[in-house]
């Protein structure tokens, strides 16, 4: 029986482990903590089948000026941290040019089209249907001009990819979401995405399915990874484990580990925040307040208010400037009674400069495989990209073209 160690028990790592299991592999899943407690826990909880194109860096001067001067809540930055991000950001900007973004979008759309179907089978087998709502989510636009642009973009995505959406007037939005105090210029209702009331619990349910199938879950440190006689070895709390293959699915921590093996991986690491709030009346579906770069997501723990991207040093103390702005903006929309946590949660999103995740074999180390860099969509894409990697490791024909995601791509 073929064997593998998967490093990282977020949605990406767990999705990989499950697909390898389905192909007859013996799999050991290793993480320093419990499954789904890092980046996979802290997102807005949306399986975004409408997100058929990767997030591009703004290239218009108005948007860049708003970010540079701190007027946009989509991005916040620590000035002293910019030099460490500069190289990756310049590449990100270059790849966001229309022609290159269009090329990346073709590959991205081919993979995300399988995101919800891959989740569906796991949700059913894991017995996790109670965690999932299948009603979509909404994007609120506060100004008429922004609403017109949102409608045009929704129509473009419908014509090109068949993505379904519905335009809601302010009155229709108010009827759909009685808890809203203000409805702006209306909203776009993306109809096909699913939302999850506890993202970490869904990853944990998938991990429990993995162990029920006979998989092994171990606590250990990824930086102990080393070649061994059998292939690869990792130290765990229960002693060393070995396997013929090892998968690096460590999200934003992947480049640090791979540097030990001579790989220099450029990555834009974006910190994000959230906090849960108590409210007497909550939302039926997640709502993106586009003007303020925040999602209000109804969760089991309360109304989760999330932020956009912060560019900071990994060791920097939390600086929830964006979250404070997001929470103030949320008060315009819903009544908030008080936060459930004294301190906000923060985590890091791993974004590749060329907009696509890295999925495939390490160029110079037989038996070592890469699976990271999903940006804002690791929670959505983990099972689908896990299938793609498991097919490559098993010598199968990939279900979507694999070359755009290869670690050796140029």
At residue 39's C-alpha, the angle toward residues 287 and 137, to 5°, is 15
Reported as a single tens digit per residue, the pLDDT across 328-377 is 999 999 999 999 999 999 999 999 999 999 999 999 999 999 999 999 99
At residue 343's C-alpha, the angle toward residues 339 and 349, to 5°, is 105
Give the pLDDT band (50/70/90) at residue 316: confident
Task: Record the pTM.
Answer: 0.96
Looking at residue 358, its pLDDT comes to 98
The least confident of 302-306, 319-323, 371-375 is: 319-323
Q: How many CA atoms lie within 13 A of 16 on its CB side?
A: 31
Looking at residue 131, its pLDDT comes to 98
Looking at residue 65, its pLDDT comes to 79
DSSP classification of residue 310: E
Does position 410 have pLDDT exceeding 80, yes or no?
no
Beta strands in 45-172 (DSSP E): 46-47, 75-77, 132-133, 137-140, 165-168
352 SS3 class: coil
Looking at residue 79, its pLDDT comes to 85
Q: Residue 183 contacts by C-beta under 8 Å, 6 or more apart in sequence? A: 140, 170, 171, 173, 174, 177
Q: Please say whether the dihedral angle defined by the alpha carbons of residues 304, 310, 314 and 317, taken in this order, is positive or negative.
A: negative
Does position 13 have pLDDT exceeding 90, yes or no?
yes
How many angstroms separate the Cα of 241 from the Cα of each of 27, 34, 236?
A: 11, 18, 7
pLDDT mean over 26-55: 95
DSSP classification of residue 374: B
Closest CA to 185 of 137, 141, 155, 139: 141
Residues, the chain, total?
A: 410
Reported as a single tens digit per residue, the pLDDT across 94-140 is 999 999 999 999 999 999 999 999 999 999 999 999 999 999 999 99
Looking at residue 349, its pLDDT comes to 94
Domains and CATH numbers, the chain: 3-43+200-266+354-405 (3.50.50.60), 61-94+131-195+267-351 (3.30.9.10)
Looking at residue 229, its pLDDT comes to 87
Looking at residue 50, its pLDDT comes to 96
Percent of the chain at pLDDT > 90 equals 87
Give the pLDDT band (50/70/90) at residue 73: confident
Does position 387 have pLDDT exceeding 80, yes or no?
yes
Does position 66 have pLDDT exceeding 90, yes or no?
no
Reported as a single tens digit per residue, the pLDDT across 233-280 is 999 999 999 999 999 999 999 999 999 999 999 999 999 999 999 998
Give the pLDDT band (50/70/90) at residue 150: very high
Looking at residue 196, its pLDDT comes to 98
Does position 53 have pLDDT exceeding 90, yes or no?
yes
In contact, 102 and 52? CB cutoff 8 Å: no
CA 42 – CA 215 distance, rounded (Å): 25
Average pLDDT, the chain: 95
Reported as a single tens digit per residue, the pLDDT across 204-228 is 999 999 999 999 999 999 999 999 9
Looking at residue 63, its pLDDT comes to 83
Give the distance from CA 193 to its chain's centroid. Answer: 14
Looking at residue 59, its pLDDT comes to 83
Looking at residue 58, its pLDDT comes to 87
Looking at residue 392, its pLDDT comes to 98
149 SS3 class: helix
How many angstroms separate the Cα of 255 from the Cα of each of 263, 289, 314?
A: 8, 33, 13
Structure tokens at 217: 């879950």
């Amino acid at each position: 029986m073929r064997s593998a160690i998967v490093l990282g028990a977020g949605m990406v790592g767990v999705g990989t482990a499950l697909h390898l299991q389905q192909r007859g592999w013996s799999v050991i899943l290793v993480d320093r903590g419990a499954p789904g407690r890092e980046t996979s826990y802290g997102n807005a909880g949306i399986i975004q089948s409408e997100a058929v194109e990767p997030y591009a860096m703004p290239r218009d001067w108005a948007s860049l000026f708003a970010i540079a001067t701190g007027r946009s809540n989509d991005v916040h930055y620590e000035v002293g941290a910019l030099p460490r991000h500069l190289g990756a950001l310049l590449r990100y900007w270059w790849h966001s040019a229309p022609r290159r973004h269009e090329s990346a979008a073709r590959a991205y759309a081919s993979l995300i089209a399988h995101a919800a179907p891959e989740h569906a089978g796991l949700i059913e087998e894991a017995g996790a249907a109670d965690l999932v709502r299948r009603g979509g989510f909404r994007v609120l636009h506060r100004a008429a001009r922004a609403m017109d642009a949102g409608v045009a973009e929704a129509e473009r995505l419908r014509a090109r990819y068949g993505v379904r959406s519905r335009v809601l007037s302010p009155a229709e939005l108010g009827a759909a979401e009685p808890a809203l105090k203000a409805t702006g210029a209306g909203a776009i209702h993306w109809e096909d995405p699913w939302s999850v009331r506890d993202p970490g619990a869904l990853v944990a349910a998938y991990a429990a399915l993995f162990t029920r199938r006979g998989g092994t879950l171990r606590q250990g440190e990824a930086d102990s990874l080393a070649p061994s006689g059998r292939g690869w070895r990792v130290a765990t709390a229960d002693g060393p484990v070995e396997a013929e293959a090892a998968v690096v699915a460590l999200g934003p921590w992947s480049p640090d580990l791979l540097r030990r093996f001579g790989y220099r991986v450029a990555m834009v690491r974006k910190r994000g925040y959230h906090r849960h709030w108590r409210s007497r009346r909550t939302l039926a579906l997640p709502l993106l307040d586009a003007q303020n770069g925040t999602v209000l997501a109804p969760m089991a723990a309360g109304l989760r208010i999330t932020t956009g991207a912060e560019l900071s040093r990994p060791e920097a103390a939390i600086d929830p400037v964006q979250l404070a702005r997001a929470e103030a903006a949320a008060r315009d929309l819903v009544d908030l009674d008080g936060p459930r946590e004294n301190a906000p949660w923060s985590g890091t999103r791993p974004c590749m400069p060329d907009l696509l995740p890295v999925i495939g074999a390490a160029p110079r180390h037989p038996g070592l495989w890469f699976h990271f860099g999903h940006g804002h969509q690791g929670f959505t894409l983990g099972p689908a990209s896990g299938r793609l990697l498991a097919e490559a490791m098993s010598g199968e024909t990939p279900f979507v073209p694999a070359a755009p995601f290869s670690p050796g791509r140029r």
